[in-house]
Structure 1
Amino acid sequence: MKNILFIISLLTGTAALGQSYSDSIVTYRKKYIEELLAEKRQPIKPADAGKISFFPPDVTYRVIAEVRETPGSTPFMIPTHSGKQKPFREYCTLTFTVKGQQYTLHAYQGIDLVKDTVYKDHLFIPFRDRTNYDQTYGGGRYIDLSIKDISAGRILLDLNKSYNPYCAYAEGFNCPIPPNENTLPIEIPVGEKTFVH
């Protein structure tokens, strides 16, 4: 019963605040663009912010994922679009259901980032899907989660919040390339679309 109440509270959280789900995503996107423009190494110019586009919000892709932690996982290097490599380790796997089919994504922690108190609970999920090179950036997209949001072995995974790496906007960034294990065999038609230069 406790787990059921937890799931209901996660899925209805925005309604409790008097805001529709679509409105909450619009608000989230505005903040996302503001933070993007506020970055010290601005990947885009303010004049180009209007070129950032998204799929319509779809609550179907806001799901509860089962979390399976993988303690003691071996650190490994993820190549980046610049040719460099960054050290990561798998923290857990996230298993979820979309339109009746079950899928799994792997969530990672940056070895260098966990030393920073700001990022010690950060979970990084780079992924590919069948919209890449067509409707979305060919190099895949990212999702950010927090270890603090895991409760009773579950976490809210909102694919509507998937976003482009900086490499989708400009060159000169070290953007991790999603490992093959994070390639979804379906289209994820939510989140950020290809940035049109």
Structure 2
Amino acid sequence: MKNICLILCSTLLIIGCSGKKEAVIGETEFQQKLNAEYKDASTSPLKAKDLKTFEGLDFFPINNTFKVTATFKRTPNSPIFKMPTSTDRKPEYRRYGIATFTLNGKEFSLEIYRNQKLMKTEEYKNYLFLPFTDETNGFASYGGGRYIDLEIPKGDTIEIDFNKSYNPLCAYNDKYSCPIPPRVNFLKTEINAGVKAFDKH
């Protein structure tokens, strides 16, 4: 009788273990969260055919060189403008500030924006948007540039972690409407950090 119970318990244990979800791929919490979102059919921007074989996004190796502390100059009098997108949609943004930082011995500046519609919601009231392009676009990274999500800083500095840069949804599916990074936000250097190009699209 004991042997039967032992066999039953062992069988249930095996079934229980095999029923567990696979661990989400990713070196950091950011990567794991993004992969989990893209793997979930209810939140994934992937096309059905790509979702079937999706295991995880391709990232550049984590490199703290691309995690910078920038001086942040607010631009409160900047006019509201309509940012071009990959479709006819033109969401309204305002340049919230300019971030200036040093990377590999060179100084760069990027404009950071605030979505005028999202700022009225509780969830995104402190949200800032950083779209940018660099010299990896069209090769190692998506040709249309990448984005970084930020929050309004309390002081006059802001942390920009390019390891957390991600592709517009258009990189995976043409049905989306994606903001096009302004030309002023082109970095004349290679940002080998964050999400790489999605080769299936």
For the 8 Å contact 2:45–2:172, the answer to whether it is kept is yes
In the alignment, which residue of structure 1 is the partner of 2:194? Answer: 191
Query: Deviation of residue 50 (structure 1)?
Result: 2.3
Kindly tell me: are residues 39 and 51 of structure 1, through their superposed partners in 2, closer, same or farther at Cα, counting changes over 3 Å?
closer
In the alignment, which residue of structure 2 is the partner of 1:27? Answer: 29
In the alignment, which residue of structure 1 is the partner of 2:10? Answer: none
Q: Percent identity?
A: 39
In the alignment, which residue of structure 2 is the partner of 1:172? Answer: 175
> What are the within-5 Å matches in structure 2 for residues 3-22 of structure 1?
none
Task: Decide which of 73, 76, 79 is 1:71's aligned counterpart.
Answer: 76
SS at match of 1:93: strand
Kindly tell me: are residues 94 and 79 of structure 1, through their superposed partners in 2, closer, same or farther at Cα, counting changes over 3 Å?
same
Give yes or no for the alignment of 1:156 onto 2:159.
Answer: yes
For the 8 Å contact 1:51–1:195, the answer to whether it is kept is no
Task: Decide which of 86, 106, 109 is 2:114's aligned counterpart.
Answer: 109
Kindly tell me: are residues 48 and 79 of structure 1, through their superposed partners in 2, closer, same or farther at Cα, counting changes over 3 Å?
farther
- Can you list the C-alpha shifts for 1:40-95, whole angstroms capped at 9, x where unaligned? 56311543432520100111011101000000210001111123211110101111
In the alignment, which residue of structure 2 is the partner of 1:120? Answer: 125
| Gap runs ≥5 in structure 2 | 1-25
In the alignment, which residue of structure 2 is the partner of 1:18? Answer: none
Kindly tell me: are residues 151 and 57 of structure 1, through their superposed partners in 2, closer, same or farther at Cα, counting changes over 3 Å?
same
Kindly tell me: are residues 186 and 79 of structure 1, through their superposed partners in 2, closer, same or farther at Cα, counting changes over 3 Å?
same
For the 8 Å contact 2:35–2:56, the answer to whether it is kept is no
> What are the within-5 Å matches in structure 2 for residues 47-58 of structure 1?
47-50=52-55, 52-58=57-63
In the alignment, which residue of structure 1 is the partner of 2:14? Answer: none
Tell me how far apart the structure 2 counterparts of residues 90 and 193 of structure 1 sit (CA, whole Å): 27
Moved more, 96-105 or 38-47: 38-47
Kindly tell me: are residues 51 and 195 of structure 1, through their superposed partners in 2, closer, same or farther at Cα, counting changes over 3 Å?
farther
Rg comparison, structure with higher value:
2
Give the counterpart letter for 1:26 in structure 2: T
Tell me how far apart the structure 2 counterparts of residues 48 and 135 of structure 1 sit (CA, whole Å): 21
In the alignment, which residue of structure 1 is the partner of 2:21? Answer: none
Larger RCO: 1 or 2 (CA < 8 Å, sep 6+): 1
In the alignment, which residue of structure 2 is the partner of 1:85? Answer: 90
Tell me how far apart the structure 2 counterparts of residues 25 and 66 of structure 1 sit (CA, whole Å): 28
Give the counterpart letter for 2:188 in structure 1: P
Count of aligned pairs between the two proteins: 172
Task: Decide which of 21, 42, 45 is 2:44's aligned counterpart.
Answer: 42
In the alignment, which residue of structure 2 is the partner of 1:19? Answer: none
- Can you list the C-alpha shifts for 1:87-140, whole angstroms capped at 9, x where unaligned? 110101111110111101111011111111111110000000000001110110
SS at match of 2:52: helix
Query: Deviation of residue 196 (structure 1)?
Result: 1.4
Kindly tell me: are residues 48 and 91 of structure 1, through their superposed partners in 2, closer, same or farther at Cα, counting changes over 3 Å?
farther
